[in-house]
Structures are given as C-alpha cells and as structure tokens.
Amino acid sequence: MRDIFRDLRDAVDLHVHPAPDSFPRLLDDVEIAEDARAKRMRAVVLKGHTSITADRAAIATRMVPGVEVYGGVVLNPAVGGLNPEAVRASIAMGGRVVWGPTMWAQQHVDYIRRHPMSGYRAIGMRFPARGVTLFRDAARTDVDPRIYEILELVREADGIFATGHFHRDEVGVILDHAERIGLRKIVVTHPNYQVLEFTLEDCRRFAARGAYLEWCYLPLTPHWMLRSPESWGLGEIAAAIRELGAERCLLSSDLGQLHNAPPAEGLREFIQALREEGVADKDLETMTRATPARLLGLE
C-alpha cells in the first residue's frame, strides 16, 4: 500500500495563505501551486484576507498544470464586508469559497480587546471600533439581510460558505438559513482556533446540523503567536474527529506565514500527527481527499 502520508497524493488543502497579502507571506500563488504539484496534491484553495483570490487562482492553474488552484473572497472591510457584489464578482471569476470575516469580525475584535496580543502589533494590525457582524442590534435578533443574499448566491453557484471568525450565534444564523434554502456546503472554519472560543458542544451542534468542521494546523504550530493553554490540542481534535465522524470533518493547513512550514509540508505534518493520535488511515483519507474534493465539485 502506498504511503499516502508521505507524498500527499490526491490531497486537497482548502485553506492556504499566499503572497501578496496585507501581511507577510512565505510563498506566492505560483510557488504554492508548484509545491502542491511536487507533492502530488490534487488541489489547493487560496485565501486572502483583503482581496478576491479567484482571478489569481485561475492564473496559477494555467501556469502550473497538474494541480487545480481555486480561490474566493473573504467578507472583510476591504471588499465591503457583507457585500453581495463582491461575492458575485468572485463567483464570476471562478471563485469556489466565500468566507465570513476574519480578523475584522466582531468576535475577533472582542477577543483581542479581552486578550491583547503583541504579535498583531508586530505586523501593524489595527482593529476597528466595530467589527463585521451579522447582527444590527445588541440583542442579536436583527440580522443583516445581506447575509441571506450572499448565501443564496453561494447556493446557486454550488459553492462553499466557510464561517470565518463569526461568533457561534452567527454560525447558527447561517446554518438556519442554509437549511431553509438547501445550501449543504457549510464549513465551520478552524473550530480549534482559540479566538473563536468554540467548545466541543458547539462542534457537536454544528455537525448535527450538517456543517463540516475544518480542523486547521496553524493554531497547533509551535511559533504561532496566539497559542494559549486553553486552545485545542491534537488529542482533543483527534477525540472530536472520532466522536463527530470523519465524514463531517476536514483537515486544512491554514499556513503561509513566514514563521511556519510551507502549506503542503504543514498539512503532511498535521496528517501524521493525527495518525499518531490514533485517527484511522481511512478517516484521514476522507478528511484530506474525498470530502474536500467533493465540496469543490472535483468528483
């Protein structure tokens, strides 16, 4: 039997951060694609915090035949936040993923206010007084209707909506509407990222409602500036995968930072680490090959 964990053959990484970006990055679009091809990966998805990556992905695919490169758009202030027009533009250029806001999400902003982190000052990150949120009132009952239009656009395009750094209550709103309109490709972005403050019970609820949990390697890397004792560890992630079922889980790298390994190598390390935590080979295949490929429509 081939060693799927050494060569990454047919693996798909739904979450990589290339240069250029608003923060320093290790590799650009083409370099990421070349490295993925060298590892025999099937596809990668480029994510940019402040720009659409669908057009860049199309160029990278043309320049690096042998691996599929996809992109999308993150609903951060740089593209207008909850902006359906940005989503339309991304989809028109072949974008497959729409992410909720990241560092500019209200949940992220609130967390940083409570837990100041020096690493953000090092890259010149400035947080707004108010972050991007689905709620227009303090009681969290008045939902911005633009999210409904955005989810409908994703459904019509058979795309993926990933929750970014939304609060658990906002994820609930998204899952409610996704169920109403028949949108089945909802990915809960890195539930193991401590800024989100998700619990295992949250993950149980999300999975029971049909969402996919995207466990990411970035929060586990030794030099990650947001690492804290309260964050999810490998053992907790492995236990969650066994409880929730591999069919409801994905593995992604979330890499591209200067202080971390290249995304493909990070994904390989993550797979092997979970293997050593007792996650079955067939489940690792499902989470890194079958399910992400199906979500991208590659079957």
pLDDT at 113: 86
pLDDT at 23: 85
Query: CA-CA distance, 279 to 107, in Å (whole number)?
Result: 31
Peptide bond into 219 cis (omega under 30): no
Query: CA-CA distance, 109 to 127, in Å (whole number)?
Result: 6
Supply the pTM of this predicted model.
0.95
Instruction: Return the axis-axis angle of helices 263-276 and 29-38, rounded to nearest 10°.
Output: 50
Query: CA-CA distance, 148 to 109, in Å (whole number)?
Result: 23
pLDDT at 226: 54
Q: Which domain holds residue 142?
A: 4-295
Query: CA-CA distance, 184 to 228, in Å (whole number)?
Result: 33
What CATH number did the domain enclosing 159 receive?
3.20.20.140
Query: CA-CA distance, 233 to 211, in Å (whole number)?
Result: 21
pLDDT at 1: 42
Instruction: Output the tens digit of pLDDT for each of the chain's 299 residues.
Output: 456 556 799 999 999 999 999 889 999 999 999 999 999 999 999 999 999 999 999 999 999 999 999 999 999 999 999 999 999 999 999 999 999 999 999 999 999 888 876 566 556 667 777 899 999 998 888 999 999 999 999 999 999 999 999 999 999 999 999 999 999 999 999 999 999 999 999 999 999 999 999 999 999 998 765 555 466 899 999 999 999 999 999 999 999 999 999 999 999 999 999 999 999 999 999 999 999 999 999 97
- Sign of the dihedral defined by the CA atoms of residues 164, 170, 172, 173, in that order: negative
Token code pair at residue 198: 């998700």
Q: What is the 3-state secondary structure (H, E, C) of 183-219?
A: CCCEEEECCCCHHHCCCHHHHHHHHHCCCEEEEECHH
How many structural domains are present in the chain? 1
